[in-house]
Amino acid sequence: MALLANKTAIVTGASSGIGRAIALKFAAEGANVVIADTVEQPIEGGESTVGMIRAAGGTAIYLKTDISDWTAVDALVGVTVAQFGRLDAMVNNAAIYTSTNLVETTPEQWNRVIGVNLTGSFYCNKRAVTQMLTQAPVNEVRGRIINISSQHGMIACPGDLPYSVSKGGIVQMTRQIAVDHADDLIVCNAIAPGKIITGKPGVANDP
């Protein structure tokens, strides 16, 4: 049996880049995958993630989602559970990037990056945990959360203020959720990738 057979996972920011690779791997391991992104087509062009998964015989749906909007995140999890019965894994990958230092960063840039990267992750974590608390454990786990941070969340890089602050916040949020909900049988971890060329470097699905 495939490793993730009969499991359901949401992957945010999965139309392109790292999220797309995660979604494809989850599907290859048998998971039902929900692609949550602001647009369905990848920024690098080519076939959609859902199309690739279905062509390979997997199960996937696309749900247009702006994770900086609580109502959209609430609906994302609600539709997922209505269609597949439960939520086994939440991968919080969606992010945007602004390469600016303190003086260069406008209030609008700050609010947008923090709104998507940090507040959006808070919304997704909160809604996922709320759902997982209602589910019966499977192999002693109610659900798993994977937050995609960055090495920029742990080291200082020149001209990287809003992005690095948002990713550092994700690291601490992950620690706190893991501690607060370990007894609830919810597992929360973070991954901090290094420099990866994905799609069009520095470009995000942020219409």
Among all residues, which ones are annotated catalytic? 163
Which position has the token pair 């959360």? 145
Radius of gyration, alpha carbons of the chain: 16
The single-letter DSSP state of residue 29 is T
Element (H, E) at 186: strand 186-191
Burial (Cβ within 10 Å: 0-12, 13-18, ≥19) of residue 196: exposed
Residue 61, strand partner residues? 34
**Straight-line distance from the first to the last Cα atom of the chain, in angstroms, rounded to the nearest whole number:** 40
Q: What are the helix (H) ranges across the chain?
A: 17-28, 49-55, 70-84, 107-113, 120-132, 161-181
Determine the Cα angle at 67 with ends 4 and 180, to 5°: 65
